Amino acid sequence: MEIFRIVVLSLSGLLLLFVGLMRLSNPIKTFLNSSGIKLENDVNLLNEIRGLSSVMLCGGIIILLGTLVPQLTTSSFVVATLLFLGFAIGRLFSMSVDGKPNKLLVQGLIFELVFGALNIFCLINALV
């Protein structure tokens, strides 16, 4: 079970680290490639996106630290659960209010639900 928990934390952390870094460094290109969204070169919009991207990046770092520092493992599962399910809840709410998004965003929702569920499973297992 220990290896499974390390794999879940590693994949969760690397995913958030990578996506956060890519969106922070070049949000216009990254959004177009990863979700088909064409962003305008609006300083306010880019500021908001980069702010959220840095949260993803920092969350990924904290999650990855949980693979190296045993005292942070539980906290890392909590952070991963909150981030992945937080994004998923936001997307589900948006789908109910705004309508169904494109295929790439629905795939993102599925990944968020899967990673959120895996992290909850590992968190519960770590606490029991």
**Residue 110 and residue 107: Cα distance in Å, rounded?**
5
**pLDDT of 35 strictly over 90:** no
**Residue 84: predicted pLDDT:** 98
pLDDT in tens, 40-85: 889 999 999 999 999 999 999 999 999 999 999 999 999 999 999 9
* CA atoms of 59 and 53, how far apart (whole Å): 10
**Alpha-carbon distance 4 to 67, whole Å?**
11
> What are the pLDDT digits (tens) for 103-126?
999 999 999 999 999 999 999 999
Is the pLDDT assigned to residue 34 strictly greater than 90?
no
Q: Report in angstroms the alpha-carbon separations of 80 from 28, 34, 92, 114, 119.
A: 25, 21, 18, 12, 6
